[in-house]
Amino acid sequence: MTRVLVTGFLPFGRQGINPSGGLALEVHGAVLDDVHVVSALLPVSYVRAPQALRAVAARVGASAILAMGLAADRPRVSVERRAHGAPGPRLDEDGLADAGYGVDVSALPWAEAVAAALDADLSDDAGRFVCNRVASHLATLDLPTAFVHVPAQGLEIAALHRAIRVLAGQGASAAR
């Protein structure tokens, strides 16, 4: 059975609830055809979020990863095509600033297929906060990945299921 890891973030700042985390938890344990969904919540930390993502993916044997974050100022769901290498201005929950990593990353090749499954916009701006750091980390992994920004109102679970299936299908073809 194919395992897809779906992540969202824990609440941060004045957000009592992070819709990305709620969505991730809502699909945890779902079985979609031969795809088993495993979910995890990531800390809003430049250092700990990528570490947690990698650790959970290894522990569950993920063959694909769909990571989500909140973009409260966006009216629609968007799928990121790139992440920025420049440092971000905001402090994370650990009180740390992002040091940046020098280069922009444009290697999120499953963005278009996932955007089509979600009926979402494509974005070339993963922001300058922890979402950007996670999106850049996804690009270093040798498996199908996507980073989805959800607006405050979230997204429909049926659309999320379609996106999970798309990534799982990409995982199966990449393994051949």
Separation CA 53–CA 33 (nearest Å): 24
The pLDDT value recorded for residue 174 is 42
Residues 26, 28, 36, 80: which is the catalytic one? 80
Q: Is 161 a catalytic residue?
A: no
Residues 131, 137, 156, 161: which is the catalytic one? 131
How would you label 16-38 residue by residue, b for 16+ Cβ within 10 Å and e otherwise? eebbbbbbbebbeebeeeebbbb
Q: Is 131 a catalytic residue?
A: yes
Which of these ranges, 14-23, 115-124, 151-160, has the smallest mean pLDDT?
Answer: 14-23
Spatial CB neighbours of 109, under 8 Å, sequence gap ≥ 6 = none
Q: What is the pLDDT of residues 43-74, one digit of tens each?
A: 999 999 999 999 999 999 999 999 999 999 99
Q: What is the pLDDT of residues 96-131, one digit of tens each?
A: 988 776 556 666 789 999 999 999 999 998 988 999
pLDDT band at 176 (very low <50, low <70, confident <90, very high): very low
**Two structure tokens written together for 174:** 């990449």
The pLDDT value recorded for residue 107 is 62
The pLDDT value recorded for residue 171 is 52
**Tally of structural domains, the chain:** 1
The pLDDT value recorded for residue 106 is 63
Residues 93, 149, 156, 161: which is the catalytic one? 149
Predicted confidence (pLDDT) at residue 175 exceeds the cutoff of 50: no
**Structural domain of 56:** 2-175
Q: State the CATH number of the domain containing residue 21.
A: 3.40.630.20
pTM of the complete model: 0.92
Q: Is 36 a catalytic residue?
A: no
The pLDDT value recorded for residue 16 is 77
- Walk across the sheet containing 78-80 and list its strands: 31-32, 35-42, 2-9, 64-70, 145-150, 78-80, 121-123
